[in-house]
Structures are given as C-alpha cells and as structure tokens.
C-alpha cells in the first residue's frame, strides 16, 4: 500500500513539475519569437517604432445574456486596475478595458454578438508599445501568459507584429529587401504580392515555431512600403501572420 502511495506521489510531483516547466518553456518561446524578428530587422538596418503582441479566444460556455452579464461583472471586479468602457452598437455588446504599464499599454476587448439563437463571446488581449525594450517585452508576454492561464487554463496562441522603418533612406528594390529578410530568418518563401510601392511576402522559418492550425506551411509575413518620393521605407513583420493593418 505504501508503495502505491509512493507511486501516486511521484506521478503527481512529475505532472506538477512538467506543467510548471511547460509554462516557462512556452513563455520563453513566445519571447524568443519577437526577439528573433527584432534582431533580424535591426541587422537589416531597421529601426523599431512599434510592437504588438496579442491573443484571442472565444468563450464556449457563455451562451446567453445572463452569462454575458456575469462575465462583464466578473471582469470589472477582478481586473480593477483597468479603466472600463461598455458600449452597444447594433446587436453587438463590447466591454473595453485599458491600463498603462511601464513603457507599454494593455487593452482587453470582450465582445458578445448574437449568432443562431446563442451568444458568440470573444476576448482579445492586446499589448502595444512604441518603446523597444527587452525587459518590457518580457514583462508584457509574462503578463499575457499569466492572464491566459488564469482565465482559460491553457497557453495562449500569441500573435506578434513589429513596425518600423529603414533609417532615413528609401529602399529602391522592395522585393530584394524582403528576400534579404527571409534569408536572415532562414525562411522559405511561400507566396508574395508585389505592387509599385508595396511588397507582401509570406514564408516559413524553422527559427520561428509559431504556427496556425490551418497554415502549417507559413509562420511569418513581411510587408514593405515606400511612402513616397524621398520618404522612408516602412515595414511590418509578424509571426505567425500580421494581424494589424498595413
């Protein structure tokens, strides 16, 4: 009997330790994603002007107005450090919360939309900053991961985007510059779109582990744009995809 208790105790400790280090690994992995993008862009002469990380998830258990009202009250009570705004437009209800940290801001957007006699409830957690600082990035991703574990008991699928420009010069050959960034990421080009002053390229890099469920062959997107004669060349790079307007 003692032997059985010992086995159960060892298995329990193993699961606890495995789960703990699994969380650390996942968080460190998300930090690695954005640092890999940043270092690549900086090595190509890019200056970072803005970075964003966000995650999103639906609430399958919130199906009616009573559930929704309870969720709204829970958020406003549990996350008192946020400044909350509630609005309704057409059939959609939206609860938005903002809080400023040291060097970055966090926005929570909780929405509910009637769909087929039920409520489709969705949460977006977004961090944005105009300051590139590794300590702040680590803090932001740690905060997102902690929030997600508390709210959903799962690791988040994090989307990362970095915006900036290439010094004070305009890149004459946008496709070539996009290819250079892909090469620095050791990425294979999957598809591309080219216009006169704009290039968008999608690729797959083994240096990045972020993947979408339906896009196993793509985990990085690059957008380059010349703003006009004599202006700078701006960039947006994201993993696994770009989720901001560019």
Q: What is the 3-state secondary structure (H, E, C) of 218-240?
A: CCEEEEEEECCCCCCEEEEEEEC
Spatial CA neighbour of 27 closest among 105, 126, 138? 138
Domains of the chain (ranges, CATH numbers): 20-239 (3.30.2030.10)
Please check whether residue 162 is in contact with residue 35, taking contact to mean a CB–CB distance below 8 angstroms: no
The pLDDT-based confidence of 2 (bands split at 50, 70, 90) is very low
Mean pLDDT of the chain: 86
Locate tokens 């258990």: which residue?
61
Q: Measured between alpha carbons, how far is residue 32 from residues 37, 43, 63, 70 in Å?
A: 9, 16, 37, 37
Helix axes 2-43, 174-184, angle to 10 degrees: 150
Q: Is the pLDDT of residue 207 over 80?
A: yes
Please give the angle made by the CA atoms of 183, 186 and 188, to the nearest 5 degrees: 85
Please give the angle made by the CA atoms of 178, 193 and 195, to the nearest 5 degrees: 90
d(CA 89, CA 96): 13
d(CA 85, CA 24): 33
Please check whether residue 162 is in contact with residue 48, taking contact to mean a CB–CB distance below 8 angstroms: yes
Q: Is the pLDDT of residue 45 over 60?
A: yes
d(CA 136, CA 134): 5
Q: Work out the burial of residue 2: count CB atoms within 10 Å of its CB; fewer than 13 is exposed, 13-18 middle, 19 or more buried.
A: exposed
pTM of the predicted protein model: 0.84
d(CA 187, CA 173): 19
Spatial CA neighbour of 135 closest among 103, 94, 180, 90? 103
The percentage of residues in the chain with a pLDDT greater than 70, rounded to a whole number, is 87
Q: What is the pLDDT of residues 57-80, one digit of tens each?
A: 999 989 899 999 999 999 999 999
């Amino acid at each position: 009997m003692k032997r059985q208790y010992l086995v159960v105790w060892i298995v329990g400790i193993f699961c606890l330790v495995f789960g703990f280090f699994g969380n650390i690994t996942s968080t460190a992995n998300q930090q690695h994603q954005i640092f890999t993008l940043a270092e690549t862009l900086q090595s190509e002469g890019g200056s970072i002007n803005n970075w964003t990380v966000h995650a999103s998830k639906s609430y399958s258990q919130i199906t009616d107005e009573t559930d929704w009202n309870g969720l709204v009250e829970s958020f406003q009570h549990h996350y008192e450090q946020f400044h909350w705004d509630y609005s309704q437009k057409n059939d959609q209800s939206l609860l938005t919360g903002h809080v400023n940290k040291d060097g970055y801001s966090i926005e929570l957007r909780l929405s509910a939309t009637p769909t087929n006699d039920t409520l489709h409830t969705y949460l977006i957690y977004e961090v944005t900053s105009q300051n590139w600082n590794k300590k702040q990035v680590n803090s932001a991703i740690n905060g997102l991961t902690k929030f997600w574990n508390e709210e959903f008991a799962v690791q988040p699928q994090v989307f990362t985007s970095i915006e900036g420009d290439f010094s004070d010069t305009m890149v004459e050959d946008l496709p070539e510059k996009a290819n250079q960034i892909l090469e620095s990421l050791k990425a294979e080009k999957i598809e591309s779109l080219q216009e006169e002053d704009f290039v968008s390229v999608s690729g797959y890099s083994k240096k990045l582990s972020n993947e979408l469920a339906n896009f196993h062959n793509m985990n990085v997107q690059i957008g380059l744009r010349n703003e006009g004669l004599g202006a700078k060349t701006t960039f947006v790079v994201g993993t696994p995809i770009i989720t901001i307007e560019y």
